[in-house]
Amino acid sequence: MNIWKELKDIKVEYTDRYEKRKKAGLWSMFKDIIIGLIRILRAKYYLRNCKTGTHVSIKGIPKIGALGKIEIGNWVRIWSDVNKAQLYTIPGSEIIIGDNSRINGVHISAQESITIGKNVRIAPNTIIIDSDFHSISDHFAPGKSAPIIIEDDVWIAMGCIILKGVHIGKGSVVAAGSVVTKNIPPDSVYGGVPAKFIKKIK
């Protein structure tokens, strides 16, 4: 075969592949932009009774009961990928979620105050609740409540329960299926029922 023809064929094949990849890349980028815009518009609708920062987005259909204050920072993602994300406040209570946090299929219910810091990741089937709802001795009487604070860079794995009065320190990890009843210091891994110290994060 003529070497020049072979080189020409290789060039044509390479050019065709490059053009196809370029078109596919542009189309993929266009789809991502459209999907992102739709998610931002969904956030504008579903979080219309909340105070929100920029580039907040929602995937799926959450359930939002903002009778009290719900404040959401910049670049927060609230997804209902596995389960429906649920955020509830009563009059006088608040939920605050910091910048760049990701919440997927989580139930958060505040009778008093729940504060989630920046860059926090909370996995599906997690429940964060700052009260007992009703008294142990009298089911028609209000239960005890105390604020929950989750500091920056915390990762809460699937199926955790975070109960009233808990303070989770910066950079900590809560293992899947844990029930957190006491404070967790910074840069620590806790797990179990109730959650106990496993190791420090170096």
Residue 62 backbone phi and psi in degrees, to 5: -85, 170
Do 121 and 101 contact (CB within 8 A), yes or no?
A: yes
Residue 94 to residues 50, 67, 200, Cα–Cα distance (Å): 10, 9, 31
- Which amino acid is residue 21, in one-letter code? R
Q: Which residues on adjacent β-strands are paired with residue 129?
A: 109
Helix, coil or strand: residue 74: coil
Q: How far is CA 63 from the centre of its chain?
A: 14
Which residue of the set 55, 107, 134, 139 is catalytic? 134
CA gap 120, 70 in Å, rounded = 17
* 55 catalytic per annotation: no
Q: How far is CA 40 from the centre of its chain?
A: 15
Residue 200 backbone phi and psi in degrees, to 5: -85, 150
CA gap 148, 193 in Å, rounded = 18
Kindly list the catalytic residues: 134
